[in-house]
Structure 1
Amino acid sequence: MLKIARINFKKCVLSLPRPYLLPARPTPFTLDFICILIIRIINVSIDEPKWQIWKKHMGTEKFYKTLAQIAVMLKNGKVLGLPTESVYGLSCIIQKAAVEKVIALKQRDLKKGFIVLSGDISHLLALIDTEKLNEKQLEILSQRQDKPTTWVVPVKHEYRWLTGDFGTIAVRLTDHPLLKELTITLGCAIISTSANLSNQPPATSYDKVQHYFGDQLDYIHPQQNFIAAKPSRVINLISNEVLRD
Protein backbone atom coordinates (compact mmCIF):
# COMPACT_ATOMS: atom_id res chain seq x y z
CA MET A 1 0.00 0.00 0.00
CA LEU A 2 2.77 2.40 0.98
CA LYS A 3 4.68 1.59 -2.22
CA ILE A 4 1.62 2.42 -4.36
CA ALA A 5 1.07 5.60 -2.35
CA ARG A 6 4.71 6.63 -2.94
CA ILE A 7 4.32 6.24 -6.69
CA ASN A 8 1.08 8.22 -6.76
CA PHE A 9 2.48 11.00 -4.65
CA LYS A 10 5.69 11.20 -6.68
CA LYS A 11 3.59 11.87 -9.75
CA CYS A 12 1.54 14.35 -7.76
CA VAL A 13 4.56 16.30 -6.47
CA LEU A 14 6.29 16.42 -9.86
CA SER A 15 3.19 17.75 -11.64
CA LEU A 16 2.05 20.33 -9.10
CA PRO A 17 2.83 24.08 -9.25
CA ARG A 18 6.09 24.19 -7.31
CA PRO A 19 6.40 26.55 -4.34
CA TYR A 20 9.81 28.08 -3.94
CA LEU A 21 10.42 26.08 -0.77
CA LEU A 22 10.86 22.77 -2.69
CA PRO A 23 14.06 21.86 -4.55
CA ALA A 24 14.03 22.62 -8.26
CA ARG A 25 14.93 18.97 -9.02
CA PRO A 26 13.77 16.72 -6.16
CA THR A 27 15.84 13.54 -5.76
CA PRO A 28 14.14 10.13 -5.42
CA PHE A 29 14.99 10.24 -1.70
CA THR A 30 13.39 13.68 -1.32
CA LEU A 31 10.23 12.51 -3.08
CA ASP A 32 10.02 9.39 -0.91
CA PHE A 33 10.41 11.55 2.18
CA ILE A 34 7.70 13.98 1.04
CA CYS A 35 5.31 11.14 0.22
CA ILE A 36 5.76 9.36 3.54
CA LEU A 37 5.54 12.64 5.44
CA ILE A 38 2.25 13.58 3.76
CA ILE A 39 0.75 10.11 4.23
CA ARG A 40 1.74 9.70 7.87
CA ILE A 41 1.28 13.24 9.20
CA ILE A 42 -1.51 14.69 7.08
CA ASN A 43 -3.23 11.28 6.75
CA VAL A 44 -5.04 12.13 3.50
CA SER A 45 -6.90 9.68 1.30
CA ILE A 46 -4.70 8.63 -1.63
CA ASP A 47 -7.82 8.42 -3.80
CA GLU A 48 -8.39 12.18 -3.70
CA PRO A 49 -7.48 14.05 -6.90
CA LYS A 50 -3.96 15.37 -6.52
CA TRP A 51 -4.90 19.05 -6.86
CA GLN A 52 -7.59 18.74 -4.15
CA ILE A 53 -5.01 17.18 -1.84
CA TRP A 54 -2.56 19.99 -2.55
CA LYS A 55 -5.11 22.77 -2.18
CA LYS A 56 -6.74 21.32 0.92
CA HIS A 57 -3.61 20.56 2.91
CA MET A 58 -0.85 22.80 1.57
CA GLY A 59 -2.60 26.04 0.65
CA THR A 60 -2.22 27.97 -2.58
CA GLU A 61 0.92 28.48 -4.64
CA LYS A 62 0.66 32.24 -4.12
CA PHE A 63 0.57 31.84 -0.33
CA TYR A 64 3.67 29.65 -0.26
CA LYS A 65 5.51 31.88 -2.69
CA THR A 66 4.84 34.87 -0.40
CA LEU A 67 5.76 32.78 2.64
CA ALA A 68 9.12 31.88 1.10
CA GLN A 69 9.86 35.53 0.27
CA ILE A 70 9.00 36.66 3.81
CA ALA A 71 11.20 33.91 5.27
CA VAL A 72 14.17 35.03 3.16
CA MET A 73 13.73 38.66 4.24
CA LEU A 74 13.62 37.69 7.91
CA LYS A 75 16.70 35.48 7.57
CA ASN A 76 18.47 38.50 6.09
CA GLY A 77 17.75 40.54 9.21
CA LYS A 78 14.89 42.62 7.81
CA VAL A 79 12.09 44.12 9.92
CA LEU A 80 8.59 43.43 8.58
CA GLY A 81 5.05 44.52 9.36
CA LEU A 82 3.00 41.35 9.79
CA PRO A 83 -0.60 40.78 10.92
CA THR A 84 -1.21 38.78 14.09
CA GLU A 85 -4.31 37.36 15.76
CA SER A 86 -5.11 40.84 17.08
CA VAL A 87 -3.23 43.84 15.64
CA TYR A 88 -0.35 44.36 13.23
CA GLY A 89 3.09 43.72 14.62
CA LEU A 90 6.73 44.39 13.79
CA SER A 91 8.63 41.15 13.36
CA CYS A 92 12.25 40.08 12.98
CA ILE A 93 14.35 37.04 13.77
CA ILE A 94 15.98 36.75 17.19
CA GLN A 95 19.23 38.42 16.23
CA LYS A 96 20.67 41.42 18.05
CA ALA A 97 21.16 43.61 14.96
CA ALA A 98 17.56 43.00 13.79
CA VAL A 99 16.11 43.58 17.27
CA GLU A 100 18.04 46.85 17.53
CA LYS A 101 16.33 47.99 14.31
CA VAL A 102 12.94 47.31 15.88
CA ILE A 103 13.88 49.27 19.00
CA ALA A 104 15.00 52.22 16.87
CA LEU A 105 11.88 52.13 14.68
CA LYS A 106 9.50 52.08 17.64
CA GLN A 107 11.63 54.51 19.66
CA ARG A 108 11.23 51.90 22.37
CA ASP A 109 12.49 51.99 25.95
CA LEU A 110 15.34 49.49 26.31
CA LYS A 111 13.93 48.44 29.68
CA LYS A 112 10.96 46.77 27.99
CA GLY A 113 11.06 43.18 26.76
CA PHE A 114 9.59 41.61 23.62
CA ILE A 115 6.94 39.03 22.84
CA VAL A 116 8.33 36.02 21.01
CA LEU A 117 6.00 33.72 19.09
CA SER A 118 5.96 30.55 17.02
CA GLY A 119 3.56 27.92 15.75
CA ASP A 120 5.90 25.22 17.14
CA ILE A 121 6.19 24.84 20.92
CA SER A 122 9.76 23.48 20.62
CA HIS A 123 10.89 26.88 19.27
CA LEU A 124 9.57 28.58 22.41
CA LEU A 125 10.96 25.96 24.79
CA ALA A 126 14.41 26.70 23.36
CA LEU A 127 14.19 30.17 24.95
CA ILE A 128 12.65 29.18 28.27
CA ASP A 129 14.39 28.06 31.46
CA THR A 130 12.21 24.96 31.68
CA GLU A 131 13.95 23.77 34.86
CA LYS A 132 11.92 26.39 36.72
CA LEU A 133 8.61 25.03 35.40
CA ASN A 134 6.75 21.91 36.52
CA GLU A 135 5.05 19.36 34.27
CA LYS A 136 1.62 20.97 34.64
CA GLN A 137 2.96 24.40 33.64
CA LEU A 138 4.74 22.93 30.62
CA GLU A 139 1.51 21.20 29.62
CA ILE A 140 -0.44 24.47 29.85
CA LEU A 141 2.21 26.24 27.79
CA SER A 142 1.90 23.62 25.05
CA GLN A 143 -1.90 23.76 24.83
CA ARG A 144 -3.84 25.76 22.25
CA GLN A 145 -5.96 28.40 23.99
CA ASP A 146 -9.48 29.60 23.19
CA LYS A 147 -8.10 33.09 22.59
CA PRO A 148 -4.60 34.47 21.91
CA THR A 149 -2.59 34.10 25.12
CA THR A 150 0.92 35.26 25.87
CA TRP A 151 2.69 33.54 28.77
CA VAL A 152 5.35 35.19 30.91
CA VAL A 153 7.93 32.55 31.81
CA PRO A 154 11.51 32.26 33.08
CA VAL A 155 14.08 32.99 30.37
CA LYS A 156 17.35 31.20 29.65
CA HIS A 157 20.43 33.24 30.51
CA GLU A 158 21.59 33.45 26.89
CA TYR A 159 18.37 35.22 25.90
CA ARG A 160 18.33 37.63 28.80
CA TRP A 161 19.23 40.45 26.39
CA LEU A 162 15.70 40.21 24.96
CA THR A 163 13.90 40.89 28.22
CA GLY A 164 14.87 44.41 29.26
CA ASP A 165 14.73 44.80 33.04
CA PHE A 166 12.96 41.47 33.50
CA GLY A 167 14.17 37.95 34.21
CA THR A 168 11.22 36.57 32.29
CA ILE A 169 10.25 36.36 28.64
CA ALA A 170 6.80 36.64 27.02
CA VAL A 171 6.01 33.82 24.59
CA ARG A 172 2.96 32.87 22.52
CA LEU A 173 2.07 29.70 20.65
CA THR A 174 0.39 31.23 17.62
CA ASP A 175 -2.41 29.84 15.49
CA HIS A 176 -2.29 32.68 12.97
CA PRO A 177 -2.00 30.92 9.56
CA LEU A 178 0.82 33.09 8.21
CA LEU A 179 2.84 33.29 11.43
CA LYS A 180 2.41 29.60 12.20
CA GLU A 181 3.60 28.47 8.76
CA LEU A 182 6.32 31.12 8.68
CA THR A 183 7.94 30.07 11.96
CA ILE A 184 7.72 26.40 11.04
CA THR A 185 9.41 27.22 7.72
CA LEU A 186 12.12 29.25 9.46
CA GLY A 187 12.62 26.60 12.13
CA CYS A 188 12.62 29.20 14.91
CA ALA A 189 10.54 31.70 16.83
CA ILE A 190 10.36 35.38 15.83
CA ILE A 191 9.93 38.70 17.60
CA SER A 192 6.43 40.18 17.42
CA THR A 193 5.82 43.57 18.97
CA SER A 194 2.92 45.90 18.23
CA ALA A 195 3.44 48.02 15.12
CA ASN A 196 3.41 51.51 16.58
CA LEU A 197 5.64 54.24 17.88
CA SER A 198 6.20 54.16 21.62
CA ASN A 199 3.11 55.34 23.57
CA GLN A 200 0.97 55.41 20.42
CA PRO A 201 -2.01 53.09 19.69
CA PRO A 202 -1.14 49.77 17.98
CA ALA A 203 -1.64 49.69 14.22
CA THR A 204 -4.88 47.91 13.37
CA SER A 205 -4.48 47.92 9.58
CA TYR A 206 -1.96 47.87 6.74
CA ASP A 207 -2.59 51.60 6.17
CA LYS A 208 -1.90 52.44 9.81
CA VAL A 209 1.43 50.58 9.71
CA GLN A 210 2.28 52.52 6.56
CA HIS A 211 1.32 55.76 8.32
CA TYR A 212 3.60 55.03 11.28
CA PHE A 213 6.65 53.77 9.43
CA GLY A 214 6.36 54.62 5.73
CA ASP A 215 9.25 53.13 3.77
CA GLN A 216 11.31 52.38 6.91
CA LEU A 217 10.00 48.82 6.90
CA ASP A 218 11.28 46.29 4.39
CA TYR A 219 7.81 44.82 3.85
CA ILE A 220 4.23 45.08 5.15
CA HIS A 221 1.98 42.09 4.55
CA PRO A 222 -1.45 43.08 3.19
CA GLN A 223 -3.71 40.49 4.82
CA GLN A 224 -7.12 40.45 3.17
CA ASN A 225 -10.16 40.98 5.38
CA PHE A 226 -7.99 41.68 8.41
CA ILE A 227 -10.13 42.37 11.47
CA ALA A 228 -8.31 43.90 14.41
CA ALA A 229 -9.02 42.62 17.91
CA LYS A 230 -7.83 43.24 21.44
CA PRO A 231 -4.13 42.46 21.97
CA SER A 232 -3.47 39.00 23.42
CA ARG A 233 -4.06 38.44 27.10
CA VAL A 234 -0.84 38.15 29.11
CA ILE A 235 -0.55 35.74 32.04
CA ASN A 236 2.36 34.92 34.34
CA LEU A 237 2.56 31.15 34.01
CA ILE A 238 4.06 30.57 37.48
CA SER A 239 1.89 32.93 39.58
CA ASN A 240 -1.21 32.82 37.31
CA GLU A 241 -1.39 36.60 37.59
CA VAL A 242 -3.25 38.16 34.65
CA LEU A 243 -1.07 41.05 33.52
CA ARG A 244 -3.33 42.03 30.61
CA ASP A 245 -6.81 40.74 29.82
Structure 2
Amino acid sequence: MLNMDDAAALLRAGRVVVFPTETFFGVGCLATHAGAVDEVYRVKRRAHRLALPVIVGHVDQLSQVAVPMGPVAEDLARRFWPGPLSILLPAAPGVPAPLTGGTGRVAVRLTPHPVARELCLLAGGPLVASSANISGRPAVTCAADLDPELLAEVAGVLDLPPAPPGGLPSTLVAVLDGADDGTGGMIGSGAPRLRVLRAGAVPAQALRDAGYVVE
Protein backbone atom coordinates (compact mmCIF):
# COMPACT_ATOMS: atom_id res chain seq x y z
CA MET A 1 0.00 0.00 0.00
CA LEU A 2 1.13 3.53 -0.78
CA ASN A 3 1.28 6.58 1.44
CA MET A 4 0.07 9.94 0.16
CA ASP A 5 3.51 11.31 -0.78
CA ASP A 6 4.50 8.16 -2.68
CA ALA A 7 1.18 8.07 -4.55
CA ALA A 8 1.58 11.71 -5.60
CA ALA A 9 5.17 11.09 -6.72
CA LEU A 10 4.09 8.13 -8.84
CA LEU A 11 1.37 10.22 -10.46
CA ARG A 12 3.81 13.01 -11.25
CA ALA A 13 6.06 10.38 -12.87
CA GLY A 14 3.27 9.34 -15.22
CA ARG A 15 2.20 6.20 -13.38
CA VAL A 16 -1.28 4.84 -12.70
CA VAL A 17 -2.53 4.38 -9.12
CA VAL A 18 -5.70 3.38 -7.29
CA PHE A 19 -7.23 5.74 -4.69
CA PRO A 20 -10.53 6.31 -2.86
CA THR A 21 -13.18 8.73 -4.11
CA GLU A 22 -16.59 9.86 -2.87
CA THR A 23 -18.28 6.95 -4.67
CA PHE A 24 -15.93 4.00 -5.30
CA PHE A 25 -12.23 3.30 -5.51
CA GLY A 26 -10.86 5.01 -8.60
CA VAL A 27 -7.96 4.23 -10.90
CA GLY A 28 -6.23 7.15 -12.49
CA CYS A 29 -3.30 9.29 -13.43
CA LEU A 30 -2.46 12.91 -14.10
CA ALA A 31 -5.05 13.96 -16.67
CA THR A 32 -2.48 16.01 -18.59
CA HIS A 33 -0.07 13.09 -19.08
CA ALA A 34 -0.97 11.54 -22.45
CA GLY A 35 0.98 8.32 -21.94
CA ALA A 36 -0.56 7.73 -18.53
CA VAL A 37 -4.06 8.38 -19.87
CA ASP A 38 -3.48 5.69 -22.50
CA GLU A 39 -2.31 3.38 -19.73
CA VAL A 40 -5.56 3.85 -17.80
CA TYR A 41 -7.50 2.76 -20.88
CA ARG A 42 -5.25 -0.29 -21.20
CA VAL A 43 -5.45 -1.23 -17.50
CA LYS A 44 -9.27 -1.04 -17.51
CA ARG A 45 -9.64 -2.65 -20.95
CA ARG A 46 -11.78 0.40 -21.73
CA ALA A 47 -12.75 1.44 -25.26
CA HIS A 48 -11.06 4.69 -26.28
CA ARG A 49 -14.37 6.07 -27.55
CA LEU A 50 -15.49 6.32 -23.90
CA ALA A 51 -14.13 9.49 -22.30
CA LEU A 52 -12.52 9.27 -18.86
CA PRO A 53 -13.87 11.26 -15.88
CA VAL A 54 -11.60 13.82 -14.25
CA ILE A 55 -11.47 15.21 -10.70
CA VAL A 56 -9.86 18.37 -9.38
CA GLY A 57 -8.76 19.21 -5.85
CA HIS A 58 -9.45 22.92 -6.26
CA VAL A 59 -11.26 24.96 -8.91
CA ASP A 60 -7.94 26.58 -9.81
CA GLN A 61 -6.91 23.27 -11.38
CA LEU A 62 -9.75 23.40 -13.91
CA SER A 63 -7.76 25.53 -16.34
CA GLN A 64 -5.35 22.63 -16.90
CA VAL A 65 -8.06 20.55 -18.59
CA ALA A 66 -10.96 22.85 -19.56
CA VAL A 67 -11.61 26.28 -21.02
CA PRO A 68 -13.16 28.86 -18.66
CA MET A 69 -16.68 27.90 -17.64
CA GLY A 70 -19.68 29.79 -18.92
CA PRO A 71 -22.22 31.23 -16.49
CA VAL A 72 -24.47 28.16 -16.38
CA ALA A 73 -21.59 25.79 -15.65
CA GLU A 74 -20.26 28.23 -13.06
CA ASP A 75 -23.65 28.26 -11.35
CA LEU A 76 -23.78 24.47 -11.37
CA ALA A 77 -20.34 24.31 -9.82
CA ARG A 78 -21.27 26.87 -7.17
CA ARG A 79 -24.37 24.92 -6.21
CA PHE A 80 -23.14 21.33 -6.40
CA TRP A 81 -19.34 21.34 -5.90
CA PRO A 82 -17.60 19.78 -4.13
CA GLY A 83 -19.80 16.82 -4.88
CA PRO A 84 -20.60 13.93 -7.23
CA LEU A 85 -21.72 16.09 -10.18
CA SER A 86 -19.51 15.92 -13.26
CA ILE A 87 -19.94 18.74 -15.78
CA LEU A 88 -19.05 18.23 -19.43
CA LEU A 89 -16.80 21.13 -20.46
CA PRO A 90 -14.85 22.02 -23.61
CA ALA A 91 -11.31 20.71 -23.27
CA ALA A 92 -8.41 23.11 -22.93
CA PRO A 93 -5.87 23.28 -25.76
CA GLY A 94 -3.26 20.57 -25.42
CA VAL A 95 -5.38 18.18 -23.38
CA PRO A 96 -4.61 14.59 -24.43
CA ALA A 97 -7.17 13.63 -27.07
CA PRO A 98 -7.83 10.18 -25.57
CA LEU A 99 -9.02 11.85 -22.36
CA THR A 100 -12.02 13.23 -24.23
CA GLY A 101 -12.90 10.05 -26.09
CA GLY A 102 -12.56 12.09 -29.28
CA THR A 103 -15.34 14.49 -28.25
CA GLY A 104 -13.18 17.51 -27.44
CA ARG A 105 -14.87 17.73 -24.03
CA VAL A 106 -13.94 16.61 -20.54
CA ALA A 107 -16.17 15.51 -17.68
CA VAL A 108 -14.91 17.25 -14.54
CA ARG A 109 -15.98 17.45 -10.90
CA LEU A 110 -14.52 18.92 -7.72
CA THR A 111 -14.29 15.84 -5.53
CA PRO A 112 -15.49 16.11 -1.93
CA HIS A 113 -13.36 13.14 -0.83
CA PRO A 114 -10.53 14.51 1.35
CA VAL A 115 -7.96 11.94 0.20
CA ALA A 116 -8.73 12.40 -3.48
CA ARG A 117 -8.64 16.19 -3.13
CA GLU A 118 -5.29 16.15 -1.33
CA LEU A 119 -3.89 13.74 -3.92
CA CYS A 120 -4.87 16.12 -6.74
CA LEU A 121 -3.15 18.99 -4.95
CA LEU A 122 0.03 17.06 -4.10
CA ALA A 123 0.27 15.59 -7.60
CA GLY A 124 -0.09 19.09 -9.04
CA GLY A 125 -3.07 18.69 -11.31
CA PRO A 126 -6.42 17.14 -12.19
CA LEU A 127 -6.59 13.36 -12.04
CA VAL A 128 -8.37 10.80 -14.14
CA ALA A 129 -10.71 9.03 -11.70
CA SER A 130 -12.39 6.12 -13.41
CA SER A 131 -13.80 3.30 -11.30
CA ALA A 132 -11.06 0.86 -10.30
CA ASN A 133 -12.35 -2.17 -12.15
CA ILE A 134 -11.87 -3.96 -15.43
CA SER A 135 -14.58 -2.55 -17.72
CA GLY A 136 -17.81 -4.43 -17.23
CA ARG A 137 -16.89 -5.74 -13.78
CA PRO A 138 -18.23 -4.34 -10.49
CA ALA A 139 -16.81 -1.18 -8.91
CA VAL A 140 -15.63 -1.66 -5.31
CA THR A 141 -15.61 0.23 -2.03
CA CYS A 142 -13.02 -1.92 -0.21
CA ALA A 143 -9.38 -2.24 -1.23
CA ALA A 144 -9.46 -5.94 -0.38
CA ASP A 145 -12.05 -6.42 -3.14
CA LEU A 146 -9.94 -4.84 -5.90
CA ASP A 147 -9.54 -7.11 -8.92
CA PRO A 148 -6.13 -8.88 -8.86
CA GLU A 149 -5.98 -8.51 -12.64
CA LEU A 150 -6.20 -4.74 -12.28
CA LEU A 151 -3.81 -4.61 -9.32
CA ALA A 152 -1.16 -6.36 -11.38
CA GLU A 153 -1.24 -3.47 -13.87
CA VAL A 154 -1.03 -0.42 -11.56
CA ALA A 155 1.83 1.15 -9.61
CA GLY A 156 0.10 0.84 -6.25
CA VAL A 157 -2.94 1.50 -4.08
CA LEU A 158 -3.59 4.44 -1.77
CA ASP A 159 -6.02 3.20 0.88
CA LEU A 160 -6.68 5.93 3.44
CA PRO A 161 -9.97 6.71 5.21
CA PRO A 162 -12.71 7.54 4.73
CA ALA A 163 -13.61 4.49 2.67
CA PRO A 164 -15.69 5.10 -0.46
CA PRO A 165 -19.37 4.80 0.48
CA GLY A 166 -20.54 3.22 -2.78
CA GLY A 167 -24.02 3.93 -3.98
CA LEU A 168 -24.54 5.64 -7.31
CA PRO A 169 -21.73 6.99 -9.51
CA SER A 170 -21.34 10.70 -10.10
CA THR A 171 -24.05 12.31 -12.21
CA LEU A 172 -22.83 13.63 -15.58
CA VAL A 173 -24.54 16.65 -17.12
CA ALA A 174 -24.07 18.77 -20.21
CA VAL A 175 -25.21 22.37 -20.62
CA LEU A 176 -27.32 22.42 -23.76
CA ASP A 177 -26.67 24.77 -26.65
CA GLY A 178 -28.74 27.90 -26.21
CA ALA A 179 -28.14 27.97 -22.47
CA ASP A 180 -24.42 28.58 -22.30
CA ASP A 181 -21.89 29.04 -25.10
CA GLY A 182 -19.11 27.41 -23.04
CA THR A 183 -16.89 30.47 -23.09
CA GLY A 184 -18.64 32.74 -20.65
CA GLY A 185 -21.57 34.17 -22.61
CA MET A 186 -25.23 33.41 -22.13
CA ILE A 187 -26.90 32.97 -25.49
CA GLY A 188 -30.39 31.90 -24.51
CA SER A 189 -33.20 33.14 -22.34
CA GLY A 190 -35.31 31.62 -19.60
CA ALA A 191 -34.22 28.77 -17.34
CA PRO A 192 -30.94 27.15 -18.38
CA ARG A 193 -31.28 23.70 -19.93
CA LEU A 194 -29.27 20.63 -18.99
CA ARG A 195 -29.07 17.11 -20.29
CA VAL A 196 -28.28 14.28 -17.90
CA LEU A 197 -25.82 12.05 -19.74
CA ARG A 198 -25.45 9.66 -16.82
CA ALA A 199 -27.88 9.41 -13.92
CA GLY A 200 -26.15 9.18 -10.58
CA ALA A 201 -25.72 10.49 -7.06
CA VAL A 202 -27.19 13.93 -7.82
CA PRO A 203 -30.79 13.23 -8.88
CA ALA A 204 -32.42 15.08 -11.75
CA GLN A 205 -34.97 16.45 -9.31
CA ALA A 206 -32.21 18.20 -7.35
CA LEU A 207 -31.18 19.94 -10.58
CA ARG A 208 -34.79 20.95 -11.26
CA ASP A 209 -35.14 22.22 -7.71
CA ALA A 210 -32.10 24.42 -8.36
CA GLY A 211 -33.90 26.08 -11.27
CA TYR A 212 -32.70 24.08 -14.27
CA VAL A 213 -34.73 22.54 -17.04
CA VAL A 214 -33.55 18.94 -17.32
CA GLU A 215 -34.00 17.20 -20.66
TM-score class normalised by the smaller sequence: 0.7 to 0.9
2:71 and 2:27 map into 1 onto residues whose CA distance is: 32
Q: Deviations over 1:79-122 (max 9, x none)?
A: 11111100111011121111121111111111111111112112
2:111 aligned with 1:174: yes
Q: Is the Cα contact below 8 Å between 1:153 and 1:169 reproduced in 2?
A: yes
The whole-number CA distance in structure 1 between the counterparts of 2:162 and 2:54 is: 25
- TM-score normalised by the chain length of structure 2: 0.74
SS of 2:35 mapped into structure 1: helix
TM-score, normalised to structure 1, is 0.66
Structure 2 residue 26 is matched with structure 1 residue 89: yes
**How high is the sequence identity, in percent, across the aligned residues?**
25
Pair 67,146 (structure 1): closer, same or farther in 2 beyond 3 Å: closer
Question: How many corresponding residue pairs?
Answer: 179
- Structure 2 segments unaligned to the other structure (5+ residues): 177-192, 200-215
Tell which has more relative contact order, 1 or 2 (C-alpha 8 A, sep 6+): 2
Judge conservation of contact 1:111–1:165 (CA < 8 Å) in 2. yes
Q: Which amino acid aligns with 1:107?
A: R
Q: Distance in 2 between matches of 1:74 and 1:218?
A: 9
- Tell me, yes or no, if the aligned pair for 1:80 and 1:217 is still in contact at 8 Å: yes
Aligned to 1:242: 196
C-alpha spacing 1:138/1:225, structure 2 compared with 1 (3 Å):
closer
Query: C-alpha separation between the residues in 1 aligned to 2:82 and 2:153?
Result: 35
Question: Is the radius of gyration larger for structure 1 or structure 2?
Answer: 1
Which consecutive aligned stretches of 4+ in structure 1 deviate over 3 angstroms post-superposition? 142-147
Structure 1 position 210, deviation (Å): 4.0
* Residue 79 (structure 1) aligned with residue 16 (structure 2): yes
**Gapped runs of 5+ residues in structure 1?**
1-64
Residue 128 of structure 2 is matched in structure 1 by 191
The DSSP-based 3-state class of the residue aligned with 2:23 is coil
Question: 2:67 aligns to what?
Answer: 129
Superposition pairs of residues 1-245 of structure 1, within 5 angstroms: 66-94=3-31, 95-130=33-68, 133-145=69-81, 147-159=83-95, 161=97, 162-224=99-161, 226=163, 227-238=165-176, 239-245=193-199
